[in-house]
Amino acid sequence: MVLVVLAGLFAYFKIEESPQTISATEDIKPQDDSISGYEQFCQNNQDIDCGAISGFMAETPSSSQVILMDTDELDENLRKQISVIAANGYDTTLKMSGDMHQLLDHLYEEELPDDIIDETITVKNAKLKDFKTVPSHKPPYWGETAKVVLIIDDMGISRKRTADISSLKYPLTVAFLSYGSNLETQMQNSRSSGQEIMLHTPMEASGKVEEAPDVLTTKMSLEEIRRNFEIMLNKFPEIRGINNHMGSKLTEDIERMKVIMEVLKERNMYFLDSKTSAKSRAEEAAAMVGIAYAHRHVFLDNNNDKNYILGQLKQVERLAKKNGYAIAIGHPKSQTYEALKEWLPNMEDKGLELIHLSKAIKVLNPQFEVKD
């Protein structure tokens, strides 16, 4: 039995050489309710006697890391500190050093595309100007006001940044990572501001990354994908849907994406494709299984610069007015917060309405009943 349990733990964690111990500083303060990746595993698998193998784990601790890109360019100590924040949900305070602020601003996602996905096809051939066409399906009706969905990913890790976004009393959609600590309290703060919660599901990226405490990978069997995904979902009992965190590699894997869609169908939930890969097969998998699907159009904050982010919000405005709606994704970065504080109060004057993602999903997928 112990060997079986150890095998399960090895599968759950990629156990490497024992990392150096990182002592908490005044810049990173552990919370009493912080939960390590190992403790989280035990809580999610209560049929396993973790006490019987705690001695073994103490001798060979796991090396759970936050997913970081371009790790060769990072200061090693800062990389380890931010990994601690991800693995244990440590708080980050206003007293953080400038380097730590910069790290939190930069290292939320894999390298993301700047392109806008425009769903409207414009025919520019003058010879076809009088040609009459009939659309293959009736386009969705969004009402007299163009609709905007703003999703903030990577919530629940930096408590300060999460609290900033939660303080915005607008119908944002906020996607919490599965491995933060004290998640329920943080999510309740968002709900109190009228924000909708979804799961930001860690999935394998194509680039050079380090894995988080929870991540779905192409090396997992279909059974492991289902089991680990269900563990994540069970932490979020009231949500209506999910999107992918990173995932440029996993979303290209049709078999594993189909398993994810099957689990979502069982729970009457939707999938939002963050479109971190142009080769994503998530839409195909969703159609095969028969669940509600949508994808993002704009990434707001590849650069943590307020003027850049406001420029991306201009793209959101243009696209929403052209197609009736637009879906944008941002992150709890310092300048994203500052840009949203400036932009959100002026939406009505711009002829735009901010709505939760679930409302947009229902318009885009009238054939499905999305969970209320």
The whole-angstrom separation of Cα 66 and Cα 86 is 5
- 325 lies in a domain? yes
The whole-angstrom separation of Cα 246 and Cα 211 is 11
Are residue 101 and residue 151 in the same domain, yes or no? no
How do residues 46-67 score in pLDDT, each as one tens digit?
443 334 333 323 332 333 333 3
pLDDT score at 80: 59
Are residue 205 and residue 351 in the same domain, yes or no? yes
- 120 lies in a domain? no
- 122 lies in a domain? no
Across the range 139-152, mean pLDDT stands at 93
- 115 lies in a domain? no
Quick check: 229 pLDDT over 50? yes
How do residues 234-283 score in pLDDT, each as one tens digit?
989 899 999 998 888 999 999 999 999 999 999 999 999 999 888 999 99
Are residue 301 and residue 181 in the same domain, yes or no? yes
**Which residue, 232, 228, 236, 162, is CA-closest to 193?**
162
Reported confidence tier of residue 363, pLDDT bands at 50, 70, 90: very high
- 116 lies in a domain? no
Are residue 160 and residue 43 in the same domain, yes or no? no
Question: Quick check: 252 and 223 in contact, CB under 8 A?
Answer: no
Sign of CA dihedral 191, 195, 199, 200: negative
Quick check: 109 pLDDT over 60? no
Mean of per-residue pLDDT scores for the chain: 74
- 114 lies in a domain? no
Are residue 280 and residue 343 in the same domain, yes or no? yes
Q: Are strands 293-295 and 298-299 parallel, antiparallel or unpaired?
A: unpaired
In three-state secondary structure terms, 209 is coil
How do residues 351-361 score in pLDDT, each as one tens digit?
999 999 999 99
Are residue 260 and residue 358 in the same domain, yes or no? yes
Quick check: 290 pLDDT over 80? yes
**Residues of the domain holding 88:** 2-106
Q: Max CA-CA distance within the chain?
A: 78
Residue 308 burial by CB count (10 A; 0-12/13-18/19+): exposed, middle or buried?
Answer: middle
Are residue 165 and residue 314 in the same domain, yes or no? yes
pLDDT score at 348: 94
Calculate what percentage of the chain has a pLDDT beyond 70: 61
Quick check: 153 pLDDT over 70? yes
Reported confidence tier of residue 30, pLDDT bands at 50, 70, 90: very low
Of the residues 85, 106, 127, which one is the last residue of a structural domain? 106
- 128 lies in a domain? no
Are residue 86 and residue 234 in the same domain, yes or no? no
Whole-model pTM: value is: 0.72
Q: What CATH number is associated with residue 237?
A: 3.20.20.370
H-helix or E-strand spanning residue 93: none
Quick check: 79 pLDDT over 60? no
The tally of domains found in the chain comes to 2
**Which residue, 102, 149, 90, is CA-closest to 361?**
149
Are residue 87 and residue 178 in the same domain, yes or no? no
Quick check: 86 pLDDT over 90? no
Are residue 287 and residue 218 in the same domain, yes or no? yes
- 112 lies in a domain? no
Are residue 148 and residue 231 in the same domain, yes or no? yes
Are residue 171 and residue 29 in the same domain, yes or no? no
